[in-house]
């Protein structure tokens, strides 16, 4: 995947998520919005809890491990220069019920990725955005 990743436009809602991987943040962590009132998680991040509508929400570091909920092996180069194949997966995060992340599984061959595989976050930085990718836990 040698081409640049499409870059999210950072704002007050999403900045903690997209910059949490910076090593300055306690070594780089995955941050998900957590409600200080009901304890539930909200993703995509907003300044309201989507479960109880509280504004007492804040980004909270989560373990960054999880399980592959589903995946697809992408063979089509959607952009010029995009190296294929690669794996797109939904990862169900440990300790964050109800939240899944669409991501790439990296660090192994595409045919080594399967449903329910255990994975761990690894960040790829590009122009001040830390993209949370995942690799298999051996």
Could you list the residues that contact another protein (CB under 8 A)?
Answer: 1, 4-9, 14, 43-44, 69-76, 78-79, 82, 86, 88-90, 99-104, 115, 129, 131, 133
Closest CA to 61 of 23, 17, 99, 125: 17
**3-state class (DSSP) for residue 110:** helix
Q: Is 67 in contact with 116 (CB distance < 8 Å)?
A: yes
* Closest distance to another protein from the beta carbon of 27 (Å): 22
Q: CB 46 → another protein: shortest distance, Å?
A: 12
* Beta carbon nearer to another protein, 47 or 102: 102
Q: How far is the CB of 3 from another protein (least distance, A)?
A: 8
* Minimum CB distance to another protein, residue 26 (Å): 23
Q: Tell me how far CA of residue 115 lies from CA of 103, 120, 121, 122, 127, in angstroms.
A: 14, 15, 17, 19, 32
State both tokens at 93: 């995060």
Q: Which is nearer to another protein, 58 or 88 (CB)?
A: 88
Helices of type H across 28-72 = none
Name the helix (H) or strand (E) containing 91.
strand 86-93
């Amino acid at each position: 995947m040698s081409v640049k990743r499409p870059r999210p436009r950072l704002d007050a809602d999403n900045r903690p998520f997209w910059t949490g991987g910076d090593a300055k943040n306690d070594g780089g962590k995955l941050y998900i919005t957590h409600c200080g009132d009901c304890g539930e998680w909200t993703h995509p991040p907003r300044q309201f809890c989507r479960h109880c509508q509280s504004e007492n929400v804040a980004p909270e570091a989560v373990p960054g491990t999880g399980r592959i909920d589903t995946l697809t092996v992408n063979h089509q180069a959607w952009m010029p220069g995009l190296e294929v194949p690669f794996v797109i997966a939904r990862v169900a995060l440990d300790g964050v019920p109800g939240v899944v992340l669409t991501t790439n599984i990296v660090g192994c061959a595409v045919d080594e990725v399967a449903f329910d595989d255990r994975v761990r976050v690894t960040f790829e930085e590009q122009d001040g955005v830390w993209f949370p990718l995942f690799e298999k836990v051996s």
